[in-house]
Amino acid sequence: MKHFFKSQKFYLGFTLVEVLVTLNIFIFVFTACFAVYFLAQRFYQKTENRAEILQNSRIILERFNREIRQAVEIVSALPQLPDLPNNPPKKEIEFQDGHTPSAFAFLGSDYYYIRYYFNQAKGEVIRQDKVYCFEECAFCQKYVRWNDSKLEDGNLVNPKACLLDEKIIGEYVQDLEFWGSDLISVVLKVSKKNESFQLKTMIAGRNF
């Protein structure tokens, strides 16, 4: 009896079938976890892109609304309708600033102008501050209206535009359109990484 127990051999371990089943389960779980992580990252990135371009668009349109509403005069010759073949919507707008005091009040001018334009090459909306002067901008002593004129050597002379400041106020812009007179229509198209939006607003001026 003692000899019988000594002759027994016990082998501990996994069979090949068990190893293969375990390996398949591990691969399945790993693949499922990776897929969930990938989808979560993709959804997060998509949501982040959407939030960024919507925030960017909101900032641009808020500026347009605030400043155009206070404008004294619209300088740009905008078409009345958006679908005129010979006069399409403009990619820029210029107007006389109606906010007082101006950030450039130290110049002593009665006329300050703001221009917004679309830089298509970079997908940016640019804001410019301007004044107008008959002299060279560096030596200007008196600032005038954009459409003033004077006789010089028998010729009618128009004032020069003097740039005071320029800065980017929006990115990821695909297109920008302005039209209208008493009621200014604005269409803004923005896009980033396959996320695209088109926003439209209409601005009624208080002073023009």
- pLDDT higher than 60, residue 5: no
Closest Cα partner for 173 from 189, 185, 187? 189
Residue 60 lies in a domain: yes
Strands (E), 82-123: 92-96, 113-119
Which pLDDT score is estimated for 22? Answer: 77
Quote the mean pLDDT of the chain: 88
| Residue at 19 is within a domain | no
Maximum distance among all Cα pairs of the chain, rounded to whole angstroms: 136
Q: For 34-66, what is each residue's pLDDT tens digit?
A: 667 666 666 556 677 788 888 889 999 999 999
**Domain ranges, residue 79:** 51-204
| Number of domains the chain contains | 1
Asked if residue 135 belongs to a domain, the reply is yes
115 is a domain residue: yes
Q: Does any domain span residue 20?
A: no
Residue 106 within any structural domain of the chain: yes
Poorest-confidence range of 37-46, 113-122, 198-207? 37-46
Residue type, 187: V
d(CA 168, CA 138): 24
What percent of the chain clears pLDDT 70, i.e. is strictly above it? 87
Q: If you average pLDDT over residues 17-46, what whole number do you get? A: 72
